[in-house]
Every structure is written in structure tokens, then in C-alpha cells.
Amino acid sequence: MPFLRPLLVLPLSLSLQLPAAEPEVIDLWPARSMPGKLAAAPESEVPRNDGFHRITNVSQPTLTFFPAPLSNKQPAPAVIVCPGGAYKYVVTDKEGSEIAAWLNRHGFSALVLKYRVPDNRDGALMDLQRAISLTRSRATSWHLLPDKIGVIGFSAGGHLAARASSTFDSRSYPVSDPIDRVSCRPDFAILVYPAYLATPDGRTSPDLNLSAAIPPTLFVHTDDDSAHIAGSKAYHKSLNAARIPNQFLLYPTGGHGYALHAQAPANAWPDAAISWLKSR
């Protein structure tokens, strides 16, 4: 069974943005039984000057659980957060713990996924499928609603969330324990400036299964994200054709990678996303 590990001390500037409850870090896989490949080098941080943290060479994927506020006595819906990073690294705060804090403020429990990178899309999908099953299997002990467990992903994490929400009928690794027998279908998906959703000729990527019972999906994107907007529009069109409930929050400007730091008009997306979530 996964086990708890101590959480590293975070910088003061980041800790001020986190929920009051102490988060738990949970290893996704039992020791020496994780399917798929590992990174070729030890886990490390990618240096940048913007103050955010990017982790690469992940061979020990984890979930960090940020429970909903303790004042909420009812079981909470939960959202698994998939940071971006072009499948080269995961941005653990800007598109991870900051998102968890935002969700907590609105009564949602959040779980930040540190998935396998770099260049390990198959391993990342295994990690997210396992994370969904693990979260649902612990719904009682974590005080969650087992039928309201969804995913939110940013950039590459948006692609990962889309894959998980369309390929759950065929688990991407062999079942190894009781956790893997719990459903890995998310109950909803939020794709924030997702990447890699279309082929070069503008069709929906073949790694998304459009014949699946895809859950309700929310798109967040801007028209000036020239590298990735075509993918959101293609997938949105495909979901409409399949009569799968979805909504598109499309803003004229904002670029890519803004998370909760967008300028107007894209800075309207967090409130709109919370309204969409609560309508579920």
C-alpha cells in the first residue's frame, strides 16, 4: 500500500499561499512494483529566475493531499491537479500547490500529482490513472465524495487530464492490487490551456478516445496561445459532435502558462471555473 512521507519545508513566500491544513505526501506505487520506465537521472530542480519550482527526472511519483477546510463537516468533492511543464518537468507550485489552495478556499479537496518526467507520457498516464483510483479508494478516510472526483490539468497536464478522461476503459498498466480495481474514470475534467490535443493537420489527437463515456469537460484557453489553441478547438468540436457535455471559456488574450496569474480578460477564468464546478 502507498505510504506517507514527510513533506519538505516550503519557502515562506509559497507557504503563505497554501491551505491551513497540513498536506500529506503519498507515494503512488508500492516499493519496487511500479510499472513503466524510470528517469535516467536523479530527481532535481530545473533552475529558473521566476521564483517557481520545476521538478524533473521524476521516478517516484506522488500525490500531495490538501484536504478541504476542516469547518466543512460534509464530505467534499476532490480535484486531482496535474501541473504542466511540456512533459519535461512539473511546475509544482504555480500549477500545483497554488491551485490546491484556490480549490480549498472554495470547499474542494485537492491532490497535486507529481508524475513521471521527462519524456514519459505513458508513465505519466499510468500515474494519473493510479492517482484517481487511489483517491477514490480512500474516499471514506479522506472524507471525499467518491462520485465527485475529477481532474484539472495545465498545458501538458491538460493533455494528461484529457487522456485520463477518455482512456479509462483500458487501464494503461496491468492490475496489481485492490487499488487498481477501483475505477480510474474522473467524474469531470478541466483543461487549462491544454497542449498536444491536435495533430498537425488540425484533427483531434488519436491518443484521445472519442468513443468513451468522457465526463463533463471545461476548456480554458486564449486565442493568442498560437501553439495550442487549435487543439482545444478541435477537441471541443469533437466532444460536441459526440454530444459530450462541455463548455469552452475562450478569451481573446492571455497567452500561455498563466495559471492564477492571468491578466484581464483571462483573469476571469478561476471564478468561471468554480461556478462550473459547483454546477456539477
Output the pTM of the full model: 0.91
141: Cβ contacts below 8 Å, ≥ 6 apart: none
Q: Note the pLDDT tens digit of each residue in 229-257.
A: 999 999 999 999 999 999 999 999 999 99
Using alpha carbons, select from 244, 251, 174 the residue that is nearest to residue 216.
244
Peptide bond into 265 cis (omega under 30): yes
pLDDT of residue 71: 64
State the pLDDT confidence band at 48, using cuts at 50, 70 and 90: very high
**Structural domain spans, the chain:** 4-279
Query: Rounded CA gap, 226 and 228, in Å?
Result: 6
CATH code of domain 4-279: 3.40.50.1820
**If you average pLDDT over residues 249-270, what whole number do you get?**
98
Beta strands in the chain (DSSP E): 4-5, 24-27, 44-45, 54-56, 62-66, 76-82, 90-91, 109-114, 144-154, 189-192, 217-222, 246-251
Q: Is residue 5 scored above 70 in pLDDT?
A: no
C-alpha distances in angstroms, 102 versus 114, 135, 270? 18, 19, 9
Sequence-ordered alpha helix ranges (H) in 89-225: 98-105, 121-137, 156-164
Chain mean pLDDT for the chain: 92
Q: How many helices (H) and strands (E) does the chain have?
A: 6, 12
Q: Note the pLDDT tens digit of each residue in 97-153.
A: 999 999 999 999 999 999 999 999 999 999 999 999 999 999 999 999 999 999 999
